[in-house]
Chain A
Amino acid sequence: MFKKILILCLFFYFLTLFQNSFLVHFNIFNLIPNFVLISVVVIVIKEKAKDNLGFFSAFIAGFFLDVFSQNFIGWNILILIGIVIAVKILKKYLRPVFGLRKSAINLILN
């Protein structure tokens, strides 16, 4: 777990730097894709329901976003944690639907 957290720290640190220093030059209609947010959402979607990696990701990613922004530290952390909770809830309600569809496809193919 510690190793995972360390990798997440390094990953989000460099991703935040990349986003704030490199990607800012490629704004389209004054919009820049938030890859940190996308990464957190992907991690939450991919993780198992019982895992807490999404929360750690949200905390670390939010922390680095706050450090490299004008916001006070904690602002993005709270937002990302809120998003993680929302995604987890959505996953909880949508899983049976997707699971059913997957089973139906498997049945047809077999």
Chain B
Amino acid sequence: MKAPSKIKISIIIVLIIAFFTVLNLSNFANEVKNFFYFISAPIQKTLWQAGINVADFFETIAEIRELEQKNRELELGRQELLARIALLRELKKENEILREALNIGLQQEFELIFAWVVSKDIFQDSILINKGFKHGLEKGMSVITQEKVLVGKISQVYRNFSRVILISNKDKVFPAKISEKDILGTIEGRGNLQMALGFIPHQEQVNQGDLIVTTVLDRVFPKGLLVGQVIEIEPGIGHFQQIRVKPIFNLEKIKAVFVISQ
């Protein structure tokens, strides 16, 4: 029984091989494949898309750590770029201020050191600038704005920073004159960004809006620097008028200053 069974199986196998050989040699195999591709196309397409979606999902999960790392790197890069942009903006501003100062001719009159205002102390009428003795600053140097407006005087010098006492500080007293009238007086700081012009006799004609400038008598500040503007005149007690003066500089808007080194 075994021998005929083996022969039968062998014949079947040979027949199958022959069948498939003929099938593949003729074009019929391609037709069969084409038929199955045609009827399976919609299912295949759906399964293919689903496979992509699911694989992407798992790939994303697997890459979360890598993405986190990349995200951190990008964030660092972004911060670095932001810092660079900020620096460039600062430089641009500095450049604009220097150009303005050059137009006024400040650089020709004085030897100036540019400085940024780092902080402001309105209660003590002082500001902190970002230049110190490392940059050649010394105590007593005058500080002005690019519009040739007197701001104050350096009171303390550190390595990289300096404290500037504003002209409105209570301790500040210096000679000044009313511009174009040659009326001499003294500017006295009253604190809280207020000043007074003292020692002006009653007979002198002073008007609101008159500008006050530094004089040659002052050994502290160079002459001709704008100090303030008269805002109120009162008769006062005694021989002198009481004149209230407001500083020309706007402390809220002041961002950069020049230190007169010589």
Chain A interface residues toward B at CB < 8 A:
13-14, 17-18, 20-26, 64, 67-68, 72-74, 77-78, 81
Contact = CB atoms under 8 A, between A and B. Distances in A.
Interface of B: 13, 16-17, 19-21, 23-24, 29, 32-33, 36, 40, 43-44, 47-48, 50-52, 54-55, 58
A74 B20 contact: yes
A67 B19 CA distance: 16
A72 B19 CA distance: 12
Contacts of A67: 32-33, 36
21 contacts: A13-B40, A17-B44, A21-B43, A21-B51, A23-B51, A25-B51, A26-B54, A26-B55, A26-B58, A64-B36, A67-B32, A67-B36, A68-B40, A72-B24, A72-B29, A73-B20, A73-B32, A73-B33, A74-B17, A74-B21, A74-B24
B47 A21 contact: yes
A81 to B, nearest CB: 8
Contact of A77 (B20, B33, B54): B20
Nearest to B47: A21
Main secondary structure of the interface of B (DSSP, over half): helix
Given A17-B43, A67-B36, A78-B17, A73 B29 contact: yes
B47 A17 contact: yes
Nearest to B20: A74
Given A74-B24, A77-B20, A21 B55 contact: no
A87 B27 CA distance: 34
Contacts of B20: 72-74, 77-78
A17 B48 CA distance: 9
B23 A74 contact: yes
A-B pairs with lowest CB-CB distance, top 6: A74-B20, A25-B55, A21-B47, A25-B51, A22-B51, A72-B24
Nearest to A26: B55
A110 to B, nearest CB: 39
A74 B44 CA distance: 22
Given A17-B40, A67-B32, A74-B24, A24 B51 contact: yes
Contacts of B54: 22, 25-26
B56 to A, nearest CB: 8
Contact of B51 (A13, A26, A64, A81): A26
Nearest to B23: A73
A67 B48 CA distance: 17
Nearest to A74: B20
B38 to A, nearest CB: 12
Given A21-B48, A22-B50, A77 B43 contact: no
Given A13-B40, A21-B43, 7 more contacts: A22-B54, A24-B51, A25-B55, A72-B20, A74-B16, A77-B16, A77-B20
A52 to B, nearest CB: 11
Nearest to B40: A17
B36 A25 contact: no
A78 B16 CA distance: 9
